[in-house]
Structure 1
Amino acid sequence: MLVIKLILVSLACLFFSFILKASEKGEYYFNNLQKCEKGIGSACTEIGFMYDKAIGVAKNDYKAVEFYSRGCDLDDQRGCVNLGVMWEKEQANLKRDEKKIMELFTTACEEDYGYGCYFLGLSYEEGQLIKKDTSKAYFYYNKACSLEVSDACTRVQEFDVENIK
């Protein structure tokens, strides 16, 4: 009987813990929604990210695009880059538009958002969105590395090793 009571108490604690975490996520969502409605771009981007990655809400690519776009329009470069990535993957029925994607990455990089530079480097290295150009890839990876994007630093090191051989 004691074991059953302990199990029931444990289940009750687990349930209330889950409810508390769910309400915290809901509160986080609504706090960001209010900030987004007041014109804070980073809050719009955060909501887009929640929809994109199904964090506290159901995954919804259309809502992710909507909020990333709002964030980007409000000069949040993370929103612009995430929108570019979704566009590149043709999520939410977006038709691939290489020029628009490159504009999003370029603007973010010019605003010193490291991941914008990183994705420019990747684009130039792979040659899928724009003509392949390893010197430009290296340049943008190097800039992203200086903006503390660790994956870009790894690519710079790999480029350096390749050029030594």
Structure 2
Amino acid sequence: MNILLAMFLSISINSYADYFDTALKAYNKQQFVKAIEFYRKACYSGNAKGCCNLGVMHANGNGVKQNNVKAVKFYSLACDGGNATGCFNLGVKYDIGEGVQQDDTKAVKFYSLACDGGDAGGCANLGTKYNNGEGVQQDEFNAVKFYTLACDAGNAGGCANLGLLYSHSDDEAKQDKPTIFELFTKACDGENAIGCLNLGLMYDKGDWVEQDTLKAFELFTKACNSGSANGCLNLGIMHTKGKGVKPNNAKAVKFYSLACDGGNATGCFNLGVKYDIGEGVKQDDAKAVNFYSLACLGGDAIGCANLGNSYYDGEGVKQNKFKAYEFFKKACNGGYSGGCSNLEIMYSTDNIIKPKVKKLLRKAYYSK
């Protein structure tokens, strides 16, 4: 589950806080230096929201040099003053180790305070901590509890994470498809990319709902536009196969590129294949090698095997059979049988490896 990170400015105005009112108006006009001045006055006059917003401005570098240590200081003042958003943002800082030493236990503490204070993001992140067993003993019951609180309060990430938890549960009673569908729908309606992606997968596969590739395509588009690399990957696949849309390899390349840029190893692999065979792009062995390398680094076993082929044949890279062995072995260890087959062929026929080394490699292969 992904930790939900968010920083936002409160737009509530305390009747006694003229400083806060002035600061907020200045901020909305992008008069950041003036906003900083009056949020500081509001904060030191006892306005917790002023402290929180002052922390946000230091975290983002608005009107002042970006400084996460100072952001933590003001979030602490806000949280001490009872501001739930300040507690949430302080929890995020401890969660990711920004401006403070990373500390899961403290992150849990401040997410708890935020959740108790009505901050739905705090509840969602607390659910993730219980689900992952970070800073607290792993507890699925509490993960469900806090994801539910978050979702019921309108937090789309809480709905998405609850849907994922149910869909991956070993308890068949929790794999309630109508509930999972509802949760992903609520998440997607709240612009959550994970919700849109998983809802798209349900429509694509006809999982509980009637299969609808057009709807799946629409949802994958929404997921991709919201930053989901997996959403972009699925769009690329649909453009390649002509599912829900006419086949278009140029568009497939575009979406595989977005997926790869987003860290999706399969996207990098598919992009490598496109360059390898010249489909949707001009054939380019060197670029194919580049994307197979990224795929392999990302854990894609077939990417490692194709990279091994490139080194073996000297296509797009200087021929190097030792590196070919290396990548075939990585592919084999990654569970791809084609990599194992190529290793066996090289052990049997290639004379580039000294007999003693070949014997050791063969022993390693058969001891898998």
Give the TM-score normalised by structure 2: 0.37
Name stretches of at least 5 consecutive residues in structure 1 with no aligned partner: 1-20
Q: Which residue of 2 aligns with 1:121?
A: 200
How many residue pairs match? The answer is: 145
Q: Which residue of 2 aligns with 1:47?
A: 126
Deviations 1:88-123 (CA, angstroms, capped at 9, x unpaired): 233567532222211111121112111111111111
Specify which of 139, 143, 146 is matched with residue 60 of structure 1: 139
Map 1:11-160 to 2 at 5 A.
24-90=103-169, 94-160=173-239
Structure 1 residue 86 displacement after superposition: 1.5
Structure 1 residue 65 displacement after superposition: 0.4
Change (3 A) 1:92 1:65: farther
Paired residue secondary structure (2:174): coil
Higher radius of gyration, 1 or 2: 2
The whole-number CA distance in structure 1 between the counterparts of 2:162 and 2:122 is 15
Q: Which residue of 2 aligns with 1:11?
A: none
C-alpha contact (below 8 Å) 2:105/2:134 kept by paired residues: no
Paired residue secondary structure (1:32): helix
Paired residue secondary structure (1:58): coil
Change (3 A) 1:88 1:105: same
C-alpha contact (below 8 Å) 1:87/1:94 kept by paired residues: no
Aligned-pair Cα RMSD in Å: 2.1
Write the letter of the residue equivalent to 2:129: M
Write the letter of the residue equivalent to 2:144: V
Deviations 1:29-48 (CA, angstroms, capped at 9, x unpaired): 11110000011011111011
Larger deviation, residues 49-58 vs 146-155:
49-58
C-alpha contact (below 8 Å) 1:65/1:92 kept by paired residues: no
The whole-number CA distance in structure 2 between the counterparts of 1:36 and 1:148 is 26
The whole-number CA distance in structure 1 between the counterparts of 2:146 and 2:116 is 11
The whole-number CA distance in structure 2 between the counterparts of 1:145 and 1:74 is 25
Name stretches of at least 5 consecutive residues in structure 2 with no aligned partner: 1-100, 249-368
The whole-number CA distance in structure 2 between the counterparts of 1:118 and 1:88 is 14
Structure 1 residue 129 displacement after superposition: 3.0
Paired residue secondary structure (1:112): coil
The whole-number CA distance in structure 2 between the counterparts of 1:81 and 1:131 is 21
Structure 1 residue 130 displacement after superposition: 1.8
Aligned residues with identical type, % of pairs: 29
Q: Which residue of 2 aligns with 1:9?
A: none
Deviations 1:7-35 (CA, angstroms, capped at 9, x unpaired): xxxxxxxxxxxxxx78x322111111000
Q: Which has the higher helix share?
A: 1
The whole-number CA distance in structure 1 between the counterparts of 2:145 and 2:171 is 10
Change (3 A) 1:142 1:128: same
Change (3 A) 1:71 1:92: farther
Change (3 A) 1:41 1:92: farther
The whole-number CA distance in structure 2 between the counterparts of 1:80 and 1:161 is 31
